[in-house]
Amino acid sequence: MPLTPDQLLDRLQSLGFETTTVRHPPLFTVADSQELRGEIEGGHTKNLFMKDKKGRLWLVVAEEDADIDLKRLHERIGSARLSFGKPELLIEVLGVRPGSVTPFGAVNDTEGRVTVVLDEALLRHAVLNFHPLTNDATTSIRRDDLIAFLRDTGHDPLVIAVSDPVT
């Protein structure tokens, strides 16, 4: 059974991580979140749940406005050709629904099926923002705490440049 948002927040606290969570109406897209964001500081993200031709699963986490060439992403992360993972697979593996994709979902991937990829450009932010397993809240966490959390779940993130630099 996947963790609830409250169970996730309890786990983050038990690991000694300070987080701040803001509740809001459900957000389904980056555009939705930009309209409702207000003054939540830190890096805001897009999270892409992908499956490659060999069946490997990937969660690519980048800045919300990152320019990612989806046709060449597989070359950057070292995978076979990629497509978006089906909603049923997302729910099965990360325990979240479309519109709620988050690296916090790694806590529900107890079999280690997903490789988490963090875009290097995202990590210039000291604080990062993600949905806490549902899209009706945003949780802010320090960058280093996110990485420590991912490692605690058995997902040592792959940190590489997946987006093109802004010119």
Express each pLDDT in 28-44 by its tens digit.
666 666 655 566 788 98
In the chain, % of residues over pLDDT 70:
90
Q: Are 56 and 80 in contact (CB under 8 A)?
A: yes
Q: Are 114 and 58 in contact (CB under 8 A)?
A: yes
**Global pTM exceeds 0.75:** yes
Distance CA 46, CA 61 (A): 6
Instruction: Give me the pLDDT at residue 41, please.
Output: 85
User: Which residue type occupies 121?
Assistant: A
Cα→Cα distances 163→16, 54, 73, 78, 166, Å = 31, 23, 9, 14, 9
Cα→Cα distances 155→65, 68, 151, 160, 161, Å = 25, 22, 5, 15, 18
Instruction: Give me the pLDDT at residue 26, please.
Output: 72
Residue linked to tokens 């983050």: 12
What is the CATH code of the structural domain delimited by 5-160?
A: 3.90.960.10
Distance CA 167, CA 152 (A): 36
Instruction: Give me the pLDDT at residue 24, please.
Output: 79
Strand partners, 43: 128
Q: Are 19 and 32 in contact (CB under 8 A)?
A: no
Instruction: Give me the pLDDT at residue 38, please.
Output: 63
Give the residues of the chain that fall short of pLDDT 70.
27-39, 166-167
Instruction: Give me the pLDDT at residue 164, please.
Output: 80
